[in-house]
């Protein structure tokens, strides 16, 4: 009988969490002991009881409802106990995570925001930027709470497994990889543009893209994110300084100062694209699970998220408004192209470190998802093995080569990035956070009754899911319409154009 119950329990756990077992043979949680080989929890002062996957989640919720009491070595923790291992992942402090987040998010997306204000007007544009930034702060909180309750989650695919089963895992994993590779390609194009401006276009742009892709590839090779920490500090500082220089340049050599509109009447496509620009500018949540998994104290993750959102929202508003004020309604995207030649070169040159470091973080993310999926809880994660390093090298090369080929070989790549942002960023940054809260409140706090007992939070999270769906559908429609218009007007560049 005992053997039968153990088999049933093991089946439930494996079907629900794809065998997310800790590396430790036994892990102590408060006064509970987890026995991974038998998939059971026991109280130290009571007999062993076989529990279902839902029972395990409920026990975990009861013991660790207070986020301050959550230990970073819970059962199912992605990297387990790392003492004595050659490669240690859980080394990040929250300030370093904040810098990594800022470097990754406050990047080339910021440079498109002045054109968004020109499309809809300064008041609607600022309202959208501030609202989406505040909204992203809430969704970051919901995502972090989900991660703390489900320490086995390493990426959006793992979260999809919990929410929707195997199909959800594959869809959200694929979406993360696609979006990360496309984002890498976007950074390669930004670097290509910067090098072209600095050199007065003296070399084929494909060659510039290739040079930049090599730099991105080399920077993304470290296996752990702490190895990218120092580079991220440089990258974060570079984009902030580049923004300041750009504002100084716009003020020193104004083009149409004061040529701004409080509000602009435009068609749905133009207006919605101006919304997808700030959505893309805030689109970093898809990396949060991977970042938090490598923190020494995951419960500090919200401090990093606050630092990110305050910094990003403040920079976005100031940069967008001041640039729009001095350059006027003809501001280009990226706005650095609207500056005088001298200031354009200065700003692009200062932004280059951010472009290639952000690109390396994206390609690292795509590679890390697959690597952990292949080798979770094996020696290849923590040990310098030929198979481990060979696989990691192959994944890094594949991610960056794919990003380069897509960026320079597909004439509609910028539109594909917009489509990917609409389909994936809308859900990863906004919509899924509502699903996380609804799921955990239902399973941890009493089902439908728990939802009804918290009507305000229920309304907020239903709205979050619907908002994600609206941004997804609206952004997808607007981007496809813009692509059709550009194609009809003959505005699409040829593949591999110099």
pLDDT in tens, 384-443: 999 999 999 999 999 999 999 988 887 666 787 788 888 888 999 999 999 999 999 999
Residue 27 has pLDDT above 60, yes or no: no
For residue 350, being part of any structural domain is answered with: yes
Q: Select the more confidently predicted residue: 14 or 393.
A: 393
Instruction: Say if residue 51 is in the same domain as residue 115.
Output: no
Question: Which pLDDT band holds residue 91 (cuts at 50, 70, 90)?
Answer: very high
Question: Average model confidence (pLDDT) for the chain?
Answer: 83
Residue 497 has pLDDT above 80, yes or no: no
How many domains does the structure of the chain reveal?
2
Specify the pLDDT at position 47: 32
Distance CA 490, CA 236 (A): 37
Domain boundary among 16, 45, 63: 63
Other Cβ atoms within 10 Å of 199 Cβ, number: 11
For residue 478, being part of any structural domain is answered with: yes
The number of CA neighbours under 13 Å toward the Cβ of 9 is 20
- Return the top range by mean pLDDT from 291-295, 327-331, 447-451: 291-295
Specify the pLDDT at position 14: 42
Instruction: Say if residue 44 is in the same domain as residue 123.
Output: no
For residue 112, being part of any structural domain is answered with: yes
Residues 52-62 have a mean pLDDT of 43
For residue 59, being part of any structural domain is answered with: yes
* The overall pTM is greater than 0.85: no
Phi, psi of 34 (to 5 degrees): -100, 130
| 81: three-class secondary structure by DSSP | coil
Tokens 């967008």: give the residue: 320
For residue 74, being part of any structural domain is answered with: no
For residue 463, being part of any structural domain is answered with: yes
For the stretch 174-183, pLDDT in tens is 999 999 999 9
Query: For 44-99, where are the E strands, in sequence order?
Result: 49-50
Question: Which pLDDT band holds residue 498 (cuts at 50, 70, 90)?
Answer: low
Instruction: Say if residue 34 is in the same domain as residue 168.
Output: no
First to last CA, the chain: 72
Distance of CA 72 to the CA centre of its chain: 21
For residue 498, being part of any structural domain is answered with: no
Instruction: Say if residue 113 is in the same domain as residue 167.
Output: yes
Nearest to 427 by CA among 481, 360, 475: 475
26-65 b/e with 16+ CB inside 10 Å = b?
ebebeebbbebeebbbbeeeeeeebbebeebbbbbeebbe
């Amino acid at each position: 009988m005992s053997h039968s119950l153990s088999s049933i329990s093991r089946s439930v756990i494996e079907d629900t969490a794809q065998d997310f077992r800790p590396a430790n043979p036994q892990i102590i949680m408060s006064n509970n002991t987890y026995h991974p080989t038998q998939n059971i929890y026991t109280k130290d002062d009571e007999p062993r009881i076989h529990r279902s996957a839902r029972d395990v989640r409920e026990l975990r919720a009861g013991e660790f409802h207070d986020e301050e009491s959550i230990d970073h070595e819970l059962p199912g923790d992605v990297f387990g106990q790392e003492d004595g291992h050659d490669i240690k992942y859980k080394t990040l402090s929250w300030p370093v995570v904040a810098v990594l987040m800022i470097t990754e998010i406050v990047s080339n997306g910021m440079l498109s925001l002045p054109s968004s204000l020109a499309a809809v007007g300064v008041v609607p544009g600022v309202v959208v930027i501030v609202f989406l930034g505040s909204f992203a702060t809430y969704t970051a909180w919901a995502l972090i709470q989900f991660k703390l309750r489900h320490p086995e989650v390493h990426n959006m695919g793992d979260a999809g497994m919990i929410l929707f089963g195997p199909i959800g895992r594959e869809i959200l994993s694929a979406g993360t990889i696609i979006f990360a590779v496309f984002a890498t390609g976007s950074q390669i194009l930004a670097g290509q543009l910067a090098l072209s401006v600095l050199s007065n276009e003296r070399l084929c742009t494909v060659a510039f893209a290739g040079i930049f892709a090599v730099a991105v590839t080399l920077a993304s090779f470290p296996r752990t994110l702490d190895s990218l920490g120092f580079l991220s500090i440089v990258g974060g500082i570079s984009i902030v300084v580049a923004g300041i220089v750009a504002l100084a340049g716009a003020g020193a050599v104004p083009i149409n100062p004061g040529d701004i509109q409080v509000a602009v009447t435009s068609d749905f496509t133009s207006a919605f694209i101006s919304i997808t620009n700030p959505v893309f500018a805030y689109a970093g949540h898809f990396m949060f699970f991977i970042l938090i998994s490598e923190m020494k104290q995951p419960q500090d993750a919200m401090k990093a998220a606050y630092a990110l959102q305050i910094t990003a929202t403040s920079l976005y508003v100031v940069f967008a408004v001041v640039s729009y004020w001095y350059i006027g309604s003809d501001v280009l995207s990226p706005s650095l192209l609207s500056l005088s030649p001298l200031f354009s070169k200065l700003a692009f040159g200062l932004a280059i470190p951010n472009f290639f470091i952000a690109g390396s973080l994206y390609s690292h993310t795509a590679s890390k998802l697959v690597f952990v999926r292949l080798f979770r809880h094996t020696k290849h994660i923590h040990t310098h093995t030929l198979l481990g390093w060979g696989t990691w090298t192959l994944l890094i090369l594949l991610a960056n080569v794919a990003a380069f080929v897509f960026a320079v070989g597909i004439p509609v790549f910028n539109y594909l990035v917009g489509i990917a942002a609409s389909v994936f960023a809308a859900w990863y940054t906004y919509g899924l956070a509502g699903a996380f809260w609804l799921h955990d409140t239902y399973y941890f706090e009493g089902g439908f009754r728990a939802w009804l007992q918290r009507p305000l939070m229920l309304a907020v999270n239903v709205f979050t899911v619907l908002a994600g769906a609206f941004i997804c559908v609206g952004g997808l429609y607007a981007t496809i319409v813009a692509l059709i218009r550009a194609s009809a007007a003959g505005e699409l560049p040829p593949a591999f154009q110099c």
